[in-house]
Amino acid sequence: YRKTIVSARDVLRKNDRGGYTVPTDGLYPFQWNWDASFTALGWSTWKPERAWAELHMLFKGQWDDGMIPSIVFHQYDDRYFPGPDTWQSPKVDPPTTGITQPPVVASCARYILQVSQHGDEDVHLRGLRNAYTLFHPILRYHRWFYKARDHKKMGRVSIHHPWESGMDNSPSWDEALEHVSTDNLPNYQRKDLMHVDADERPTQTQYDRFMSLVFSFRDVNYDYAQCAQVSQFQVADTCVNALLLKANKDLAWICAKLISHHKRLSLSLEELEALKSAQRELRELIDLSSRGMDSLWNDELGMYSCYDERMDKLINVPTSSAFLALYARHPDRVRARQLADKLAHWLDQVKYGVPSYDPESPMFDSVRYWRGPVWLVVNWMIAEGLEAYEFFELAERVRRDSRALIKEAGSYEYFDPMTGEGCGGNCFSWTSAIQLFWFP
Ligand code: DGY
């Protein structure tokens, strides 16, 4: 097993571009928001300073309004489309996209700090200092979601683009995407198909809609208030909402640690007061997002699902995002049991869990990105949630499958749940990172 640890570290070293890590060479040659956060977990297992550096680099891309964009273009690379010259976002140094991704940075910072508590005194103190530097910028990021995306002020934030979910071609978006017009779409050339088989990527129809949305945001210079008016796609995603709730809880955890170590950190009285006030604010955000999550419970499916804000209805599509509510420690015992039973049933239909989409659905596609395949970062979060609710056997099954996939297929972007075959990009940072963090 030592050998696979060494090769997982090699993947991160190979994808290191000096302070930030690309998800994989070629297909994704920049720093991605949620990839970077998960990748930091991997670095933290043997180079804690490098882990914090990854997060600081990500925050170089933070916008004045608080948003952390989905991609930070630290160095130019023409192997990817759409690059900075297509986005033309107002953030220039470094340039970024004009949309966000699931907010997992607070949670990853929490786990990195938590692990550092059990090590060297010095590593822990440096961890606290790093966490303090990141604390207020992360809080500003969380506030941005409620300011820019909680359109109905009910604690349910929406995404304006499928890319913001990180689950680009999830079947949850199919119906909502039909309302996105491609009438004024200029000519463009996608580049992802130069790196990966077309069967494993979003279709051309989907891609046209992705680009139409980008151009509509560019037309209003990515102003968040105007984007809320013009976006033809507004969906409250179960994944983003569950992860934002968890992120608020984890930021509150960090806040409590910083307060209790304020002397070691030599914080001024003013700085301490600011933390205490942030602690109160975070409690309110947790309550708000908990109410938002409640509104995503779908009785018909017996699980959480996404909500189409424009059509004002729940989206009846069962995806693995629902199980992330467990990771957020949100459901009561009854709903948690319902989710666990559903997951157990899904696992009975596949060789390796967790499929990203209900394997009994006629549209299930075991190799097409988020329409069936297994993703290791999602598995880790689901297993973590299952353990928190003491579903130990089920958590163990997810863990066992995840370990087997890495061992048998390698560090792929995602995996076929029916055969265990690796798909998408290879030497993939977040897969190796989760391996290092989860199976030390
Ligand atoms: C892509 O280009 O496929 C990415 O997922 C967008 O973030």
Which residue lies with its CA nearest to atom 6 of ligand 1? Answer: 163
Res 339: pLDDT: 98
Q: Does residue 192 line the site of ligand 1, with CB under 6 A?
A: yes
Res 440: pLDDT: 86
Cβ proximity of 365 and 416 under 8 Å: no
3-state secondary structure of 72: strand
Res 2: pLDDT: 78
Res 111: pLDDT: 98
Q: How far is the CA of 191 from the centre of ligand 1 (A)?
A: 11
What does the pLDDT average to over 61-76?
97
Could you identify the atom of ligand 1 that is nearest to the CA of residue 168? 5
Q: How far is the CA of 225 from the centre of ligand 1 (A)?
A: 24
Closest CA to 107 of 243, 206, 12: 243
Q: What is the pLDDT of residues 263-322, one digit of tens each?
A: 999 999 999 999 999 999 999 999 999 999 999 999 999 999 999 999 999 999 999 999
Q: Does residue 191 line the site of ligand 1, with CB under 6 A?
A: no
What does the pLDDT average to over 85-98?
96
Res 184: pLDDT: 84
In the chain, the number of structural domains is 1
1: pLDDT strictly greater than 80: no
Per-residue CA distances from 276 to 14, 117, 133 (Å): 41, 22, 16
Cβ proximity of 356 and 378 under 8 Å: yes
Q: Among the options 200, 308, 401, 413, which is catalytic?
A: 413
Q: Does residue 163 line the site of ligand 1, with CB under 6 A?
A: yes
309 classed as catalytic: no
Q: Which of 2-6, 368-372, 376-380 has the lowest mean pLDDT?
A: 2-6
Residue 187 — φ and ψ, nearest 5°?
-65, 140
195-232 core/surface letters (b: 16 or more CB in 10 A; e: else): bbeeebbbeeebbbbbbbbbebbeebebebeebbeebe
* Probe residue for ligand 1, chosen from 68, 163, 165, 429 as the CB with the greatest number of ligand atoms within 8 Å: 163
Which residue lies with its CA nearest to atom 4 of ligand 1? Answer: 163
Q: How far is the CA of 341 from the centre of ligand 1 (A)?
A: 32
Report percent pLDDT > 90 for the chain.
Answer: 96
* Residues 419, 417: Cα–Cα separation, whole Å: 6
The DSSP code for 154 is S
4: pLDDT strictly greater than 90: no
Q: How far is the CA of 282 from the centre of ligand 1 (A)?
A: 31
Report percent pLDDT > 70 for the chain.
Answer: 100
> Domain containing 51 — which CATH number?
1.50.10.10
Closest CA to 382 of 243, 245, 236: 243
* Probe residue for ligand 1, chosen from 28, 164, 167 as the CB with the greatest number of ligand atoms within 8 Å: 28
Residues of the domain holding 369: 2-438
Query: How many alpha carbons fall within 13 Å on the CB side of residue 229?
Result: 7
Alpha helices (H) along 261-391: 269-294, 324-327, 333-348, 376-388
Q: Does residue 169 line the site of ligand 1, with CB under 6 A?
A: no
192 classed as catalytic: no
Res 200: pLDDT: 86
Q: What is the pLDDT of residues 116-144, one digit of tens each?
A: 998 899 999 999 999 999 999 999 999 99
Q: Does residue 30 line the site of ligand 1, with CB under 6 A?
A: no
Q: Among the options 65, 150, 168, 387, which is catalytic?
A: 168
Q: How far is the CA of 169 from the centre of ligand 1 (A)?
A: 10
Q: How far is the CA of 25 from the centre of ligand 1 (A)?
A: 14
Could you identify the atom of ligand 1 that is nearest to the CA of residue 32? 7
Question: What value does the mean pLDDT of the chain take?
Answer: 97
